[in-house]
């Protein structure tokens, strides 16, 4: 059963990676990153039940990573809104100051 | 390798997998951004169901509250406050998209091969399901993890104050 959960998390991570690399809307890129974080959390919880030494440590790690992910989402959206005010767009292709 | 007995856990796992994968695939294929967020909420709820299957009831509730509730609503606010009318439907497929798809598929292939090749040893101790999960997490949180717990509270305070300061309109 453990390998099923790990495969599931790998599928979720790869879909999130594809979304983060291809989507043009910056909000959707943030959402794809949340998807990848969720896949990692699923791995941690799966090992906390089916690992060699089952313990609560995996669940504690997941709890902290959820808290950090929530902070990351809030700051990310705030940065996006500030960026939208300055540039008038949320298309990530238009944020290209660094390569001009 | 695929000798699966049809227990209740497997059936529930299958249902949640279908929910998660269909939500995620719909997320990358929808063109309207609000639809993407709604399908993402389905993915988050499916992951919460998997947490329940893995005996992590407290985390399942946290997942529903934080992800399916707070993060989805935050993202919808972010979409509403920015321009979201132009959907990327007319944009042609670029080389970048193809390379990204190949890269993601290659990563999945490597991960799948590694998961199938490695043999995971059986758990040494069988966890008893009688322990209250929430109470055990609370005891861990206030004994072994006190310092990280307080640091996370400081981090959340700083992050949310920073978010308000960043998103506030500058006084002209």
Kindly write down the DSSP assignment for every residue of B140-155, as one continuous string: HHHHTTHHHHHHHHHH
For residue B126, the model assigns a pLDDT of 66
> What is the distance, to the nearest Å, from the Cα of residue B30 to the centroid of all Cα atoms in its chain?
19
Query: Is the predicted pLDDT of residue B84 greater than 70, yes or no?
Result: no
- Residue A25, strand partner residues: A91
Predicted local distance difference test score (pLDDT) of residue B44 = 92
Would the pLDDT of A40 be above 80? yes
A15 to B25: CB separation less than 8 angstroms, yes or no: yes
Q: What is the pLDDT of residue A53?
A: 78
Report pLDDT for B91.
63
Task: Collect all residues with Cβ–Cβ distance below 8 Å to B144 and sequence separation of at least 6.
Answer: none
Residue B9: pLDDT band by 50, 70, 90 thresholds?
confident
pLDDT of A91 over the 60 cut: yes
Rounded CA-CA distance B158/B163 in Å is 8
Interface contact A17-B75, CB threshold 8 A:
no
What pLDDT score does B92 carry? Answer: 64
Mean pLDDT of B73-78: 87
Per-residue pLDDT, averaged over B90-95, amounts to: 67
ipTM of the complex: 0.89
d(CA A41, CA B47): 9
Looking at CATH, the fold of the domain delimited by A2-99 is given as Helix Hairpins (1.10.287)
Calculate mean pLDDT across residues A52-59: 83
All residues at 6 or more sequence positions from B89 whose CB lies less than 8 Å from its CB, including other chains: B31
A48 lies within 8 A of chain B by CB: yes
SS (H, E, C) A5-46: HHHHHHHHHHHHHHHHHHCCEHHHHHHHHHHHHHHHHHHHHH
| Interface residue B81 vs chain A (CB under 8 A) | yes
Residues with Cβ within 8 Å of residue B58, at least 6 apart in sequence: A59, B133, B134, B137
Q: pLDDT confidence of A48, banded at 50, 70, 90?
A: confident
CA dihedral A22, A28, A33, A35 (to 10 degrees): -100
B1 pLDDT more than 60: no
For residue B155, which of B147, B166, B143 has the smallest C-alpha distance?
B147
pLDDT at A11 (0 to 100): 92
Query: A with B: how many residue pairs have Cβ under 8 Å apart?
Result: 214
Is A69 in contact with B155 (CB distance < 8 Å)? no
pLDDT digits over B146-172, tens only? 999 999 999 999 999 998 888 887 655
Q: How far apart are CA A58 and CA A11, in angstroms?
A: 20
pLDDT band at B93 (very low <50, low <70, confident <90, very high): low
Is the Cβ pair B108, A8 closer than 8 Å? no
Name the percent of chain B lying above pLDDT 90. 23
Listed by start position, the domains of chain A span 2-99
With a cut of 70, say whether residue B128 has pLDDT above it. no
């Amino acid at each position: 059963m453990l390998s099923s959960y790990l495969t599931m998390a790998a599928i979720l991570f790869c879909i999130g990676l594809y979304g983060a690399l291809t989507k043009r809307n910056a909000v959707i890129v943030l959402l794809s990153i949340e998807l990848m974080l969720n896949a990692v959390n699923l791995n941690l919880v799966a090992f906390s039940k089916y690992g060699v030494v089952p313990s609560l440590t995996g669940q504690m790690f997941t709890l902290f990573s959820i808290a950090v992910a929530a902070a990351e989402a809030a700051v990310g959206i705030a940065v996006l809104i500030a960026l939208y005010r300055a540039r008038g767009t949320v298309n990530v292709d238009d944020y290209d100051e660094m390569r001009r | 390798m695929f000798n699966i007995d049809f227990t209740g856990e497997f059936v529930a796992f299958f249902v949640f997998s279908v929910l998660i994968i269909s939500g995620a695939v719909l997320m990358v294929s929808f063109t309207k951004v609000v639809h993407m967020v709604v399908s993402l909420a389905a993915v988050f709820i499916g992951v919460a169901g998997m947490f329940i299957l893995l005996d992590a009831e407290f985390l399942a509730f946290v997942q529903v509250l934080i992800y399916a509730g707070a993060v989805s609503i935050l993202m919808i606010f972010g979409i509403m406050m920015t321009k979201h009318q132009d959907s990327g439907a007319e944009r042609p497929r670029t080389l970048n998209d193809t390379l990204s798809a190949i890269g993601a598929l290659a990563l999945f292939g490597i991960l799948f091969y590694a998961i199938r090749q490695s043999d995971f040893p059986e758990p040494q101790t069988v966890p008893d399901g009688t322990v209250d999960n929430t109470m055990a997490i609370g005891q861990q949180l206030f004994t072994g993890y006190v310092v990280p717990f307080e640091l996370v509270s400081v981090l959340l305070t700083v992050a949310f104050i920073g978010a308000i300061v960043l998103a506030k309109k500058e006084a002209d």
